[in-house]
Amino acid sequence: MKPRVLILGGGFAGMFAAKELHRSLAGQVEIELINETNHFVFQPLLPEVAAGSITTRDAIAPLRLLLPGVKVRQASVFDVDVASKTVTIFQGLQRRYTQVSYDHLVLALGQVVDLSRFPGLSDHAFTMKNVSDAFRLRNHVIDKLEHADITQLPEVKKELLTFTVIGAGFSGIETVGEMKELIDRSLKFYPNIDPSEIRVVVVEFADRVLAELPESLASYAHKLLEKRGIEIKLKTGVARATGTSVTTSDGEVFGTRTIVATIGNAPSPLLQKVDIPKAHGRADVERTLRVRSTENIWSLGDCALIPMKDDAKDRKDFAPPTAQFAVREARLLARNIKATLEGSPLTPFDYKSKGALASLGGRRGVAEVFGMRLTGFSAWLLWRTYYLSFLPGFSTKLRVLLNWVSDSVLSRNTVQVKTQIQGGVSYVHYRAGDRIFERGNRADGFYTLVEGKVEQRIPGEDGKEIVRVLGPGDHFGERVLLGSGLRTGTVRALEDSKVLLLTAEDFLRLTDAFPALKAYFDDHVTRLTAATLKAPTPAASADAPAGNG
């Protein structure tokens, strides 16, 4: 039986790891990649998606197209059991609990955004992690221009036309540059907005922008952005945010209805659950990319702390979380897994950056490549050429190139395409006999029966199955939401039924914010559990307490 290599994560690190493993070990191992979406996101292009210079599909590519010969599974990873070499996932509409085994495990989980340290920011700020973020930001900016063009309230107009970006790293600077270009090129369609009314602000805690680049390039970028009308606040943090304002760390309050946060990268919560050595929240790996104290677990990309020298101590001694390094790490990973299977010595990671580039919008950029420093149009052109060559798949390269060419000669499209956002509460209809959920499913929400009749089956303490029948006004699903997260029973419709479904996340928000409601459910779950344990027979009873986990 072929050894099984399981890769968790489909970003730069995971996708290129799968590609390199297939290239090196095709036919010798079985390779499977698990990712929550079925596509790869080319994150450096997200600011251009937000600005409308390319379309959303140009920044993504199907994983199945990019990885021929690799098994791709769209699923959410719930847990990793290192001892049994299994990964627990949830997949499909019913979020079925499934276990996948492995011989070698590759952790490429990336990082997540955590804005919880900044009151209000997580509730009111846009992030730039995926195409939906970029698409929403573009629609939002156009919406603010539409509103500002017609409002008769000066203070509201001022807030609508103030656009704020938190963070002045690569993502923040490229986002603010592209957003400013979208605004500037769209104003001709809004006769009631004067260019002088536009205010674009960058808030950065450090003492300069683009800290990853040399001082001279950062200084050029700072001056160019200011020349384009972008206000930059250095040595300034964010104290709090609301739907209409930002309060800085020095106490300044300014009105704004657009906040983009490019800060707050944090370790993956899933990685924290895996029983492996960690350092600073990331997987603690050897220079060979193998996780310390393990034989068959590897890690790369943003979720791994990768030393580039044996006595690494300083921050510069570790691989930075960039796409350039992730691709090289993927090549070494494939080489070392192959060496492990063949019983050969492993190779340590040793790579020096070839440089860095940043687009500033307005056909200007900064770049340091092989020691050479470029600014202006030449740097911007180099930026586009580099990332065009980096894009996976010929069709994607061609589409992006054509979009760039058309964008340079045509007006910027200001069509606002709004997508309907599914609320936290919805009605769901079931036919008689339909299964609403079954034992072992991941908890997806809290159910209140509006019409019809349902049956719930719960295992009793003595192993016998307890059956209850619920009618309009009864509810179920709360026990697990307040507990373990896996359904303990099965519920199916006895009649054509209609239920009100509140998502798990919103149910927990509601109970956390409403103590009396939380107290009711805690008491209800206690009574239900006691009734379940005392139930003498599996006979159905319509009079039994409603509720189920």
pLDDT at position 133: 94
How far is residue 77 from each of residues 5, 7, 8, 351, 412, measured CA to CA in Å? 16, 11, 8, 31, 40
Query: Please, what is the average pLDDT of the chain?
Result: 91
pLDDT at position 313: 84
**The 3-state secondary structure of 236-269, one letter per residue:** CCEEEECCCEEEECCCCEEECCEEEECCCEEECH
Q: Among 239-243, 400-404, 448-452, which is the least confidently predicted range? A: 400-404
Pairing, β 104-107 against β 297-299: parallel
pLDDT at position 548: 44
How far is residue 207 from each of residues 203, 261, 343, 513, measured CA to CA in Å? 11, 18, 50, 38
Residue in this structure with the two tokens 């072992």, named with its chain if needed:
440
Per the model's pLDDT, the better-predicted residue between 235 and 423 turns out to be 235
**CA angle, 521 as apex, 517 and 527 as ends, to 5°?**
145
CATH 2.10.109.10 at 425-534, yes or no: no
Average pLDDT over residues 456-478: 87
Q: Is the pLDDT of residue 486 over 90?
A: no
| CATH no., domain 4-36+75-113+266-351 | 3.50.50.60
**CA angle, 160 as apex, 134 and 136 as ends, to 5°?**
15
Q: Is the pLDDT of residue 344 over 90?
A: yes
Per the model's pLDDT, the better-predicted residue between 109 and 404 turns out to be 109
What tokens were used for 92?
């499909």
Residue 533: how many CB atoms within 10 A of its CB? 11
pLDDT at position 539: 37
Same fold, 4-36+75-113+266-351 and 121-263+356-409: yes
| CATH no., domain 121-263+356-409 | 3.50.50.100
Residue in this structure with the two tokens 């919103």, named with its chain if needed:
506
Q: Is the pLDDT of residue 545 over 50?
A: no
Residues 14 and 112 sit within 8 Å (Cβ to Cβ) = no
Average pLDDT over residues 423-452: 89
CA 524 from centroid of its chain's CA atoms: 35
Confidence category of residue 549, pLDDT binned at 50, 70, 90: very low
> Where does residue 300 rank: exposed (0-12), middle (13-18), buried (19+ CB within 10 A)?
buried
**Burial annotation 70-79 (CB, 10 A radius, 16+ → b, else e):** bebebbebbe
What tokens were used for 218?
């950062």
Residues 297 and 105 sit within 8 Å (Cβ to Cβ) = yes
d(CA 419, CA 371): 45
Q: Is the dihedral of CA 407, 409, 412, 413 positive or negative?
A: negative
Q: Among 106-115, 116-125, 188-197, 398-407, which is the least confidently predicted range? A: 398-407
d(CA 117, CA 121): 9
For the chain, the farthest-separated pair of C-alpha atoms sits apart, in whole angstroms, at 80
For the chain, the residue count is: 549
Nearest residue to 137 via CA among 234, 47, 215 = 47
| Domain range summary for the chain, segments of one domain joined by + | 4-36+75-113+266-351, 121-263+356-409, 425-534
d(CA 159, CA 266): 30
d(CA 204, CA 225): 14
The values of phi and psi at residue 118, to 5°, are -115, 100
pLDDT at position 95: 67
Residues 94 and 438 sit within 8 Å (Cβ to Cβ) = yes
Q: Which amino acid is at 189?
A: F
pLDDT at position 215: 95
**The 3-state secondary structure of 99-148, one letter per residue:** EEECCEEEECCCEEECCCCCCCHHHHCECCCCHHHHHHHHHHHHHHHHHH
Pairing, β 425-430 against β 497-503: antiparallel
What tokens were used for 22?
């297939």
Q: Is the pLDDT of residue 328 over 70?
A: yes
Average pLDDT over residues 30-47: 95
Confidence category of residue 91, pLDDT binned at 50, 70, 90: confident
Beta-bridge partners for 258: 163
Confidence category of residue 520, pLDDT binned at 50, 70, 90: very high
Pairing, β 265-267 against β 86-91: unpaired
What tokens were used for 404?
């760039």
Q: Is the dihedral of CA 124, 130, 136, 137 positive or negative?
A: positive
Confidence category of residue 419, pLDDT binned at 50, 70, 90: low
pLDDT in tens, 6-25: 999 999 999 999 999 999 99
pLDDT in tens, 46-89: 999 999 888 888 889 899 999 999 999 999 999 999 999 999 99
Q: Residue 520: which H helix or E strand, with range?
A: helix 515-534
